[in-house]
Structure 1
Amino acid sequence: MHRILVDERKWLGDGRFLHALNFCMLLPGPEAQQLATYIGWLMHGVRGALIAGGLFILPGVVAIMGLSWLYALFGDVAVVSALFFGLKAAVLAIVLQAVVRVGRRALKSGVMRGIAAASFVSIFAFGAPFPLIVAGAALIGWFGGKAGLAGFKGGGHGPSGGAHVADAETLLGAEVALPPSARRGAIQAGLVALILWLLPVGALVLLAPGSVFTDIATYFSKLAVLTFGGAYAVLAWVAQEAVGTYGWLKPGEMLDGLGMAETTPGPLIMVLQFVGFMGALREAGWAMPLLAGTAGGLLTTWVTFAPCFAWIFLGAPFMEGLRENRALSAALSAVTAAVVGVILNLSIWFALHVIWRSVMRLEWGPFALDLPVPGSIDWVAAGLSALALIAVFRLGLGMAKVLAGAAALGVVLHFAGLA
């Protein structure tokens, strides 16, 4: 986005782009989609925001929906299963790469490393809910930043720390001033977006309590408010709830959905549409389950992205004040550190269900731990995962090459009688 918008098309300057990026990093939800929405608003107001934000996700909506139908219809076909078998190994390597990348950016002090460690232990060994981890980290960061304690300096959530914020403030100058009409228009659009998001959720709660569609609407709405830290952090909570609490998916299917989202256009968070699709497909009880799945998938997408437009429209006129709040910046840096621990837990969860055929649960008081069953290791999956890790960390291959290669190897292993 930076290369095309700033360097090639020159629609906006580098300072304004970085200013917008840091603002989107402060918001819950997928920052890439929100950045597209915000830049559309900068250039052409509310209409530009709707076009840019909507078209950013539309290809992913169509692609994931089509793949969800194919998965529901043909997912048990041997060749298709073999293809997803290969994708799972690649996904494991990509998530581990995310741990390393986010960790290098966020864990620049002993305090942040401690928050990450505590976050990992909380979710891995005690099953702490993701929102509780986020809230705890935010409070620690907020009070640490407010008190000016060492290790709590904000700005670590941007691509290159706090330097971008300062650069943006210097380069923007008078550009940040907005006419009153633009502020009013943005706030009015934000209120409309809130109504359009919450109206169907409220209607489902009142008219269909206990249905899978109500569960989808309320759960993914909560997710939209608490998704600081990027898609991988969100997936840890989704795996915890969609697989463990609601039973919408099996662990292997969660991995299959992530493989779909990694290989299709649009933000990675589009995997949530697959989760909603499969949940409604199985739980709605409709005579036409694929139609129920389609409704569930589209409902998931709606309650995931409608709030993103609301945050942009409501927050954009006041972004300067938000970005200059040091306590808030420190809180978000602490959340990003906690997210490292959450993503590490996600990678271990994936590894348990990719490399081992059986997992047992060890419980003792508040302590609850998933462990592989001895002797249940899948050596073919382990070997394929090792190759994917070498491709990512040693050879430095890109995501598309790793995914394509792993999927092809899965099919080859199937025809060789090994998968």
Structure 2
Amino acid sequence: MESINLSYTITDLVRYFLYLGTTGFGGPPALVSAMHRDLVTERKWVSEEDYREGLALAQLAPGPLAAQLAIYLGYVHYGVIGATLAGLAFVLPSFVMVVVLGWTYRQFNGLPWMQAVFYGIGAAVIGIIAVGTYKLTAKTIGKDLLGWCVFGVSAVATVITESELIWLVLLSGGIYWFVKAPSSRANAGMGISIAPFFAQVQALSTDSILWQLALFFAKAGAFVFGSGLAIVPFLYGGVVKEYGWLNEQQFLDAVAVAMITPGPVVITVAFIGYLVAGFPGACVAALATFLPCYLFTILPAPYFKRWGKHPGVKAFVDGVTIAAIGAIAGAVVVLARRQLVDVPSLLIALITVGLLYQFKKTPELAVIGGAAIAGLLLRAIN
């Protein structure tokens, strides 16, 4: 029987997510792995079962994966208040950093040092998420042959398509349900219906730039599935092509800012909002993006808690979870292909893997700092 430490307070929870939001680099793969390591394995605040349910729900619902998982884990023992505070604590640090960077970017007409810093940090991040994904995969799948098959198919599909396929995630859950819980198939009847909260908002006037931002980013948060990285193509189509709010270089800089700051990658929306309409634009863009994912997490959460112990639901959740981890592993490969473009970047990634694997207590923030310095030095030498 798994032992859970229920002595933690809501203040402890908020303090943890503030810490993760301030120091958690690497996007969804690294953040999801960090929550498992910190809250399930080390602190034992959350059970493996609750974590899997949260990851499955985050994968099935639209919106940024890591933020939804943080919200769900806050919900587990402290309900809506815990979910709300955990979500705010997780997002707030990176929001503040991105706004400061947006102000600096405007003042100095770009950030020429950003590419050098991102070069080093990006390579280290690949190493961090590779180690985290390896640990999460080994812990979740173990010796389950069907699990490894589902994991492999999901990983390969992600590498080939460079996106997370929601139909494949659902199919994986269905396969697991069919194989692992055959006796529960006749009684299956659970379903979660969530109304589209933003459909009526479309009728509102869009003359104001803030309303345009609110509507666009609400759609981004409500209808884009997968990790924070999945939102980037959607944002590019609207921000650059449709509305022309930013040019190509500004958009690439916005994505880079999200990658070199801790917390959820989707926080790039705040940087975009700042460049378009200043601090009000940053607030509107962030709120409009995260509000749908918050609602899509807390509304179905009671159903997951109520039905999560049912054999059929548990099997479905296990299948979805394993497919999600496979997609995360595939995303590591996709990111590595883009980031590890030469020998120095490959060496930084390999050194990171070696440090974290050999010396398990090595602070990730120290590795990130060292990689940033390495990037700046390499730029100076070249």
Once the two structures are TM-superposed, the CA of residue 392 in structure 1 deviates from its matched residue by 0.7
Structure 1 stretches lacking a partner, 5+ long: 124-129, 151-189, 228-232, 282-291, 356-381
The answer to whether structure 1 residue 92 and structure 2 residue 134 are counterparts is no
The superposition leaves residues 239-297 of structure 1 with CA deviations (integer Å, 9 ceiling, x where unpaired) of 434447753554752552134323xxx4444234224445xx2xxxxxxxxxx143443
Q: 1:383 to 1:240 in 2, by over 3 A?
A: same
Aligned AA for 2:270?
Q
The answer to whether structure 1 residue 238 and structure 2 residue 231 are counterparts is yes
Matching of residues 100-111 of structure 1 within 5 Å: 101-102=132-133, 105-106=136-137, 109-111=148-150
The answer to whether structure 1 residue 270 and structure 2 residue 267 are counterparts is yes
Residue from 317, 323, 333 that aligns with 2:322: 333
Counterpart of 1:217 in structure 2 is 218
- CA distance in 2 between partners of 1:89 and 1:74 (Å): 22
Once the two structures are TM-superposed, the CA of residue 34 in structure 1 deviates from its matched residue by 4.7
Once the two structures are TM-superposed, the CA of residue 51 in structure 1 deviates from its matched residue by 3.7
The superposition leaves residues 174-198 of structure 1 with CA deviations (integer Å, 9 ceiling, x where unpaired) of xxxxxxxxxxxxxxxx99xx85x66
- CA distance in 1 between partners of 2:283 and 2:159 (Å): 32
- Report how many aligned residue pairs link the two structures: 310
Q: Retained in 1: the 8 A contact 2:201–2:215?
A: no
Counterpart of 1:348 in structure 2 is 337
Q: 1:303 to 1:99 in 2, by over 3 A?
A: farther
RMSD: 4.2
Q: 1:66 to 1:313 in 2, by over 3 A?
A: same
Once the two structures are TM-superposed, the CA of residue 321 in structure 1 deviates from its matched residue by 0.8
Counterpart of 1:306 in structure 2 is 291
Q: Retained in 1: the 8 A contact 2:68–2:293?
A: yes
Q: Retained in 2: the 8 A contact 1:137–1:335?
A: no
- Where 1:81 maps in the other structure, the secondary structure is coil
- CA distance in 2 between partners of 1:241 and 1:404 (Å): 31
The answer to whether structure 1 residue 144 and structure 2 residue 133 are counterparts is no
- Where 1:148 maps in the other structure, the secondary structure is helix
Counterpart of 1:261 in structure 2 is 261
- Where 1:63 maps in the other structure, the secondary structure is helix
Aligned AA for 2:307?
G
Identity of aligned residues (%): 20
Structure 2 stretches lacking a partner, 5+ long: 14-42, 142-146, 182-193, 241-245, 357-361
Deviates more, 1:14-23 or 1:324-333: 14-23
The superposition leaves residues 201-245 of structure 1 with CA deviations (integer Å, 9 ceiling, x where unpaired) of 66367988995654333223323xx23xxxxx431x234344477
Taking structure 2 as the reference length, the TM-score comes to 0.64
Q: Retained in 1: the 8 A contact 2:98–2:258?
A: no
Counterpart of 1:401 in structure 2 is 366
Once the two structures are TM-superposed, the CA of residue 301 in structure 1 deviates from its matched residue by 1.5
Higher-Rg structure is: 1
Q: 1:317 to 1:71 in 2, by over 3 A?
A: same
Aligned AA for 2:256?
D
Residue from 154, 163, 186 that aligns with 1:115: 154
- Where 2:204 maps in the other structure, the secondary structure is helix
The answer to whether structure 1 residue 317 and structure 2 residue 322 are counterparts is no
Aligned AA for 1:391?
I
Counterpart of 1:172 in structure 2 is none
Q: 1:404 to 1:75 in 2, by over 3 A?
A: farther
- CA distance in 2 between partners of 1:119 and 1:35 (Å): 20
Counterpart of 1:23 in structure 2 is 53
The answer to whether structure 1 residue 53 and structure 2 residue 42 are counterparts is no
- CA distance in 1 between partners of 2:328 and 2:316 (Å): 18
Taking structure 1 as the reference length, the TM-score comes to 0.59
